Amino acid sequence: MKAVILAAGVGSRIRPLTNNTPKPLLKIGEKTILQRMIDSLLKVGIDHMAIVTGYLEDQIKNFVKKTYPNLQITYIRNEIFDKTNTAYSLNLTKSFVGDDDFIKFDADVVFEDAVLEKLVKDASQTCLCIDKNIHLEKEEVKVSLDKKGKVLEVGKKIDLKKAKGESIGIEKIGKAASKILFEELEKVLADPKNQNEYYDDSYTTLVKKGVPFYAVDISNLKWVEIDTLEDYKLAGKLL
pLDDT digits (tens, 9 = 90+) for 152-179: 888 888 888 888 889 899 999 999 899 9
Is the entire prediction scored with pTM above 0.85? Answer: yes
From the candidate CATH numbers 3.40.50.720, 3.90.550.10, 3.30.300.30, 2.40.50.140, the one assigned to the domain spanning 2-238: 3.90.550.10
pLDDT digits (tens, 9 = 90+) for 129-138: 999 987 777 7
Cβ neighbours of residue 79 closer than 8 Å, sequence gap 6 or more:
54
DSSP code string of 201-217: HHHHHHHHTT---EEEE
What residues pair up with 170 in beta bridges, in sequence order?
Answer: 105
16 φψ region: left (φ > 0), alpha (ψ -120 to 50), beta (else) = alpha
Spatial separation of the C-alpha atoms in residues 146 and 124, rounded to whole Å? 15
Cβ neighbours of residue 175 closer than 8 Å, sequence gap 6 or more:
99, 100, 101
pLDDT digits (tens, 9 = 90+) for 187-212: 889 888 888 788 888 888 888 888 88
pLDDT digits (tens, 9 = 90+) for 40-97: 999 999 999 999 999 999 999 999 999 999 999 999 999 998 888 889 999 999 999 9
Domain ranges of the chain: 2-238
DSSP state of 150: B
What does the radius of gyration of the chain's CA atoms come to, in whole angstroms?
17
